[in-house]
Amino acid sequence: MNSAQWIAKADKYIMKTYGRYPLVPVRGEGCTLWDADGKKYLDFLAGVAVNNLGHCHPSVVKALQHQASQLIHCSNYYHIPQQIELAEILCSHCFADKAFFCNSGAEANEAAIKLARRYSREKYGADRYEIITAISSFHGRTMATVSATGQEKVQKFFDPLLHGFRHVPFNDAKALRDAVSPLTCAIMLEPIQGEGGVVVPSAEYFQEVRKICDENGLLLIFDEVQVGMGRTGKLFAHEHFGITPDIMTLAKALAGGAPIGTMLATDKIAEAFTPGTHGSTFGGNPLVTAAGVATVRAILEEGILNRCEEMGEYLMGELEALGKRYSCIKEVRGIGLMIGVELNIAGGDIVKKALERGLLLNCAQEKVLRFVPPLTVTKQEVNEMIKILEELLIETEK
Ligand code: PMP
């Protein structure tokens, strides 16, 4: 079947939950995707910051193939070596002592919300349940994470939302401090807002946030679902800001594209989960955690973080140069290979035309072009992308 035939069939059988671009991907390698018609694409979206190692990294493919031949799933016994190994590697590289595994970013955030509430209730009493999050934040599509999310378009008509979430402006420590009340149990933030349009707050803001938490006995939850796993040139984005959270969630890039999520916490907080309090049938199963171990090892052992930093600087420089030449570019911002280009106009047309020319991008908050390529992207691929983008900017400004 060709792409048009697949798309016609999708219209018949697949619910229209996403505004999908007319692309039918069938194969990927590195930064390249091929569609069902054999057309080649340069992928600067990477499954929205999922394929950090590029599509089908050989170590991830090998781990999946090997594990599939040994044991795919076995839950409830939960002493799964691959899961234990992944938890050990992650904990040895951050503040956390223990991990809980699930299947997506939303589920990891659900777990974080539940753990924070249980911990705070046990420690301080029944009234401590409120979680403060940021306006324009995105935390997922389940009911609790929709309630945590600070975007009305994500929440519309799904109300009544969950009780106990309060939203304040991002990167504004005073607003946060003012919102804290005796009901507050935690503050939940993305270190860099992704869906919110690649918004990078200051290190001072996060230092102040940590202080507010410490002074009030609040837990700090970092949602690193989009920015973790090397995306910013460090394994975890909060490393840029000189503070650590109490709970951190990861998903997306953690297992090279296999569906996984994890919620990490210190021992003291993790103790609030006891047998029977939370769970997931597929969470941390042997197949995805084997892919996770291979992914994290590759990130740490193949110089991916340095490469990300280097290519991030290069890409940022090239985009800033375009920003000087084309007035429709308002601002270029980001860290590592998490880069947003804010336009003075809506970006949807550029994204659509880029797709026609074989370049995959997307647009957050209507005006922010998002560049989140595989961290293995080459200089040549960046140059190729910039060439297409410049042609589109020329057309746009005609
Ligand atoms: N948190 C953040 C910061 C995200 O960017 C996303 C996905 N865009 C999620 C949570 C939800 O992840 P998932 O789609 O895996 O549920």
Q: Residue 287 sits in a domain of what CATH number?
A: 3.40.640.10
**Residue keyed to tokens 């975890």:** 236
* ipTM of the prediction: 0.99
Q: Do 176 and 262 sit in the same domain of this protein?
A: yes
* Residue 226 CB less than 6 A away from ligand 1: yes
Instruction: Please give the Cα distance from 368 to 193 (Å, whole number).
Output: 12
Neighbouring C-alpha atoms within 13 Å toward the C-beta of 159 = 7
Last residue of a domain, one of 280, 301, 322: 301
Q: Do 223 and 162 sit in the same domain of this protein?
A: yes
Residue nearest to atom 13 of ligand 1 (CA): 105
Q: Using a cut of 0.90, tell me whether the model's pTM lies above it.
A: yes
Pocket test for ligand 1, best of 225, 250, 370 (most atoms within 8 A of CB): 225
Q: What is the pLDDT of residue 20?
A: 80
Q: What is the pLDDT of residue 79?
A: 83
Host domain of residue 269:
58-301
Ramachandran sector of residue 38 (left: φ over 0; alpha: ψ -120 to 50; beta: rest): left
Q: Do 214 and 266 sit in the same domain of this protein?
A: yes
The residues of the chain scoring below 50 in pLDDT are none
Enumerate the known binding-site residues.
105-106, 138, 141, 223-226, 280-281
Q: Do 197 and 77 sit in the same domain of this protein?
A: yes
Residue 167, token pair as written in the block: 């939203």
Last residue of a domain, one of 284, 301, 318: 301
Q: What is the pLDDT of residue 78?
A: 67
* Residue 347 CB less than 6 A away from ligand 1: no
Strand 219-223 and strand 32-35: the pairing is: unpaired
